[in-house]
């Protein structure tokens, strides 16, 4: 201002007065806030006391978004390494990016104001293996539920979460296992129809339908591990990798989202509610009242999910590739952009040079 001999007069403009120049300044400020890159100039020209770096690469992007993505990744990693998710196989078998999309995208999943609060609770507990099956209740309140009791319906096996879909108990015109198979195969058909009519990256081969229907996640006789995980809402990576040969990630996730939500609603109505009514009458026959269940008296037991996982179960790391691969991916992500969720361990190497080292762990 001094060099150009400018005389500036400050005038207060009322908010929301639809002043053209004020609107223009607001648009520029908003664009700068949401822009991924802080500047079009090289980082060496930025007049900053320190530069955020990863693997000696300057992080020349929106720092708030970068840090927020790191914290989101940490939260997801904390969830992913819970023993309930890796009691049968590695967590690397789950497509966490797609699972997170389906978890967050559907508004009915998180809303408790649309008359479906019970279903929302069911879907969350289904994902986390926290439904109040008999096995779960035996751990929570062993003074009420005898640890030796088996499934109230078939009386042959413990009533775990997986047993809900495979219980051999049969009523006239109703079978839990047959109902589960019918719903799962209907979901497979629904998915297949949508993918056959979707825009693909390359022409679909004649064998696409046959290859899709024989994926392990559809194996329900008896249900495979991947089938049982998929039922909970954990998307198997074998499914998305197969579809990724022909469709973009966004197309895959968008198609999987709504039918999976509807599948869970059918499980809730046709299996869980029916089972809950039967279970309530069974509790009454055992002399277990609502007052007894709500009482805090009696020995407590640390809750474990119904998969019968011991306390000392080791939790495998999500890092299924070498450290050099992690570094290469994050470096490429900084240069070209990319999804943090693909690799969840990159913040271990995040530093600020040359002043200090920071850790988000």
Place of tokens 């978004």: 65
CB neighbours (10 Å) of residue 229? 21
User: How far is Cα 62 from Cα 29, in angstroms, rounded to an integer?
Assistant: 13
296 — pLDDT class (breaks 50, 70, 90): low
Within its chain, how far is the Cα of 162 from the centroid? Answer: 19
Whether pLDDT at 311 is above 60: no
Taking the model in full, what pTM does it have? 0.66
Coil, strand or helix at 14: coil
Identify the helix (H) or strand (E) that includes residue 203.
none
Whether pLDDT at 214 is above 50: yes
10 — pLDDT class (breaks 50, 70, 90): confident
User: How far is Cα 169 from Cα 232, in angstroms, rounded to an integer?
Assistant: 21
Structure tokens at 92: 């690397």
Residue 112 burial by CB count (10 A; 0-12/13-18/19+): exposed, middle or buried? exposed
- Report the sign of the C-alpha dihedral through residues 178, 180, 186, 192, in that order: negative
- The neighbouring-strand residues paired with 53 are 58, 351
276, 151 contact by CB (below 8 A): no
């Amino acid at each position: 201002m001094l060099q150009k001999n400018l005389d500036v007069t400050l005038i207060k403009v009322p908010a929301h007065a639809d002043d053209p120049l004020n609107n223009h300044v607001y648009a520029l400020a908003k664009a700068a806030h949401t822009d991924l890159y802080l500047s079009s100039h090289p980082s060496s020209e930025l007049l900053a006391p320190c530069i955020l770096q990863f693997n000696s690469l300057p992080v020349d992007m929106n720092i708030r978004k970068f840090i927020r993505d790191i914290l989101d990744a940490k939260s997801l990693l904390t969830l992913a390494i819970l023993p309930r998710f890796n009691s049968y196989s590695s967590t690397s078998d789950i497509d966490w990016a797609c699972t997170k999309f389906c978890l967050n995208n559907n508004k009915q999943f998180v809303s408790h104001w649309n008359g479906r609060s019970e279903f929302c609770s069911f879907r969350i507990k289904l994902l986390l293996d926290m439904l109040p099956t008999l096995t779960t209740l035996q751990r929570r309140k062993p003074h009420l539920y005898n640890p030796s009791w088996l499934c109230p319906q078939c009386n042959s096996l413990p009533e775990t979460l997986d047993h809900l879909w495979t219980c051999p108990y049969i009523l006239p015109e109703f079978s839990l296992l047959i109902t589960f198979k019918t719903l799962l195969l209907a979901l497979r058909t629904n998915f297949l129809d949508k993918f056959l009519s979707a825009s693909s990256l390359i022409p679909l081969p004649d064998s696409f339908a046959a290859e899709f229907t024989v994926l392990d996640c559809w194996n329900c006789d008896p249900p495979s591990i991947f089938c049982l995980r998929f039922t909970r809402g954990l998307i198997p990576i074998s499914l998305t990798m197969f579809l990724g040969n022909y469709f973009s990630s966004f197309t895959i996730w968008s198609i999987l989202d709504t039918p999976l939500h509807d599948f869970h609603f059918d499980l809730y109505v046709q299996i869980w509610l029916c089972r809950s009514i039967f279970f309530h009458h069974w509790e009454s026959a055992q002399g277990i009242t609502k007052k007894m269940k709500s009482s805090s008296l009696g020995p407590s037991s640390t809750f474990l999910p119904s998969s019968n996982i011991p306390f000392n179960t080791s939790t495998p790391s999500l890092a299924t590739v070498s450290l050099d691969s992690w570094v290469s991916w994050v470096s490429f992500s900084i240069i070209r952009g990319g999804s943090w969720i693909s690799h969840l361990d990159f913040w271990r190497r995040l530093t600020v040079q040359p002043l200090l080292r920071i850790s988000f762990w």
